[in-house]
Amino acid sequence: MESVSRLGVVGGGLMGSGIAEVAALRGIEVLVAEAAPEAADTGRERVGASLDRAVARGKITEEERDAARSRLRFTHDLGDMADRQFVIEAVAENPGIKTDVIRTLDKVVEDQDAILATNTSSIPIVDLAVATHRPDRVIGMHFFNPVPVQRLVELIPALTTSRDTQERTRRLAVEQLGKEAIQAADQSGFVVNALLIPYLLSAVRMLESGVARAEDIDRGMELGCAHPMGPLRLLDLIGLDTAQAVAESMYEEFKEPLYAAPALLRRMVAAGRLGRKTGRGFYSYA
């Protein structure tokens, strides 16, 4: 079975840049597409800064960093994805945006055997697959932030996904990218978020109701349950807008109250307090 040598990544934000960095370090030629030239430049700077930090921390050598940079290209034209063997979309967690990207990739990626993967946290994979003319080549490939550090990838086949697509995706994740892969059914939340989101939302409700301060909620879970990070700090890392989008997707599918986004979370998102990426969420990041 042929290995992936030409990978496409759509979206140069935290997730997309992380996926691109890992792939380039593992010897894969990567093309990253963003919506505009300025966004592509920002994505390039984000990957470069991450690689520099990895050198400073002794994780990689300067030679490995330079080799990875040489394998990375950036564009603002999805048409440049025409020659890709495998494309991973990592755009905003919005069904309309993701559907538009997948539909466009279906048109521009010339090899009909090429796989189109989505890094969605919660959107049903089949909804994206049926927007293409190759539903058997569409699969969920959910990475975790920060991608260079987190080893897990969830693989989510839709009802339409072929066995060949599943095997090729697993091989890319495990053998080429060096990740640990688990498989999940195509239902909102998959494995990790189906367990994680209710826990995070419960922490927001606890803060909202005045049971405890943010610092005490987080320290309670860090010291009492040996969690490396408390739930509210974790929400700041994930991004409050992303957490809300996942919660809303899960509530839409299951109609369970535990998946409903609390009012405090919705108001913080409306105010632009999204966590680390905006400098302020449940904590401040000056």
Active site (catalytic) residues: 121, 142, 154, 193
Q: Do residues 159 and 128 lie in contact, with contact meaning Cβ atoms separated by under 8 Å?
A: no
- The terminus-to-terminus CA distance of the chain in angstroms comes to 49
Bridge partners of 138, per DSSP, are: 116
Encoded tokens for 173 = 């994740």
CA–CA distance, 61 with 63 (Å, rounded to integer): 5
Closest CA to 208 of 149, 165, 267: 267
Exposed/middle/buried for residue 49 (C-beta within 10 Å: 0-12, 13-18, 19+): exposed
CA–CA distance, 140 with 123 (Å, rounded to integer): 9
CA–CA distance, 92 with 76 (Å, rounded to integer): 16
Encoded tokens for 126 = 């089949």
What lies within 8 Å, CB to CB, of 153 at 6+ separation is 141, 142, 143, 144, 173, 177, 179, 180, 181, 182
- Tokens 């048109």 correspond to 107
CA–CA distance, 105 with 87 (Å, rounded to integer): 8
- The phi and psi torsions of 216 (rounded to 5 degrees) equal -75, -35
Encoded tokens for 271 = 């105010």
